[in-house]
Amino acid sequence: MRMDLMRIVFDEQRRAEMRKKSFQPTEGKPQGGLKPWREVVTPHPDVASGRYQQAEFAADLWQVDQGEGSDEYKHPTEFFRRTFITVGLKRLMSQALLRLSGKGGDPVVELQTNFGGGKTHSILALYHLFSGTHASELPGVEELVKDAGVPIARNVRRAVFVGTQVSPGRTHRKPDGTEVRTVWGEIAWQLGGKAAYERIREDDERATNPGNALKELFNQYAPCLILIDEWVAYARQLHGGADLPAGTFDTQFTFAQALSEAVKTAKQTLLVSASRPRRARTSGPTRGSPTSKSAANGAAKRWPV
């Protein structure tokens, strides 16, 4: 009884102390003669020198994956130094840590925000989180990893697809000579090179869905991180009936569903996709994002970031 009482008293004291601390920085008595903020804050050198280029400050997953662009997007340490870890981003990263370690976590996530709301930035955060860089070199990440209770999974295979950068109208020749046509061909090749591509080659050549082969592929190369940006922009180019190497709009939808299912049932595999929000009502095959169907089936979790 006495011990319980003591515990309550200590608890109260600790809480009162914390309250005091959190008010302290804002309480103070401002002195006269403070400098205006414009004299205290210095803008980023690019802005100050007038060399500011909007394009340089646009988060671009494709560029980063190609090793191009400015350091603040390309370099994992610099990226996290400039990243504000919002509640949504923290949740996304924590879930990804769990999923790729095989300790739970959501397998399929579709990011939803308004234009410029941070979808690409969130995808980049995952790309860098699993880049093989130690948490101590990623500002803000060490604490997040500690809170999540699992270390960053090692040797994660990453596959990146950016819809605005890939033409569905032609085959894409890889440095090892592999010719890729479809999104599934691209993902397989990025995860495991020629050998992985061979497993689904026929489906890539015929632009048909690889079905169960996807799950087997993910299991073989796990942990796998699949990041898809601007998927809708890509799907829009697949007009019905057109004979494109990448397949039709319908095959894309079926693939989105098959991909979600495969990722869900495979071990240590995570799919994160971003697509611009849907217009209120449009007609024809351009409606919705390729994961909308699977989201409706409960396969994809829609997350605001």
Ligand X SMILES: Nc1ncnc2c1ncn2[C@@H]1O[C@H](COP(=O)(O)OP(=O)(O)OP(=O)(O)O)[C@@H](O)[C@H]1O
**Distance (Å, whole) CA 251 – CA 292:** 14
Site for ligand X in 75-94 (CB under 6 A): 82-84, 86, 89
Q: How far apart are CB 107 and ligand X at their closest, in Å? A: 22
| Choice from 3, 115, 176, 240 touching ligand X (CB under 6 A) | 115
Question: Does residue 232 bind ligand X (CB under 6 A)?
Answer: no
Long-range interactions of 238-246: CB distance < 8 A, separation 24+: 238/168, 239/285, 240/285, 244/168, 244/169, 244/207, 245/168, 245/169, 245/170, 245/171, 245/181, 245/182, 245/207, 246/168, 246/169, 246/181, 246/182, 246/183, 246/207
Q: How far apart are CB 297 and ligand X at their closest, in Å? A: 25
Cβ pair 161, 274 in contact under 8 A = no
> Which does residue 211 touch among ligand X, Mg ion, none (CB within 5 to 8 A, set by kind)?
none
**Distance (Å, whole) CA 145 – CA 120:** 21
**Distance (Å, whole) CA 254 – CA 182:** 13
| Choice from 95, 112, 120, 190 touching ligand X (CB under 6 A) | 120
| Choice from 70, 83, 112, 120 touching Mg ion (CB under 5 A) | 120
Q: Which residues pair with 271 in a beta bridge?
A: 108, 226
Question: Does residue 278 bind ligand X (CB under 6 A)?
Answer: no
The pattern of x and - marking residues 46 through 65 that bind ligand X according to CB under 6 A reads: -----------xxx------
Q: How far apart are CB 247 and ligand X at their closest, in Å? A: 24
Q: How far apart are CB 162 and ligand X at their closest, in Å? A: 10
Query: What does the binding site for ligand X look like in residue numbers (CB under 6 A)?
Result: 57-59, 82-84, 86, 89, 113, 115-121, 276
* Residues at the site binding Mg ion, with contacts judged by CB under 5 A: 119-120
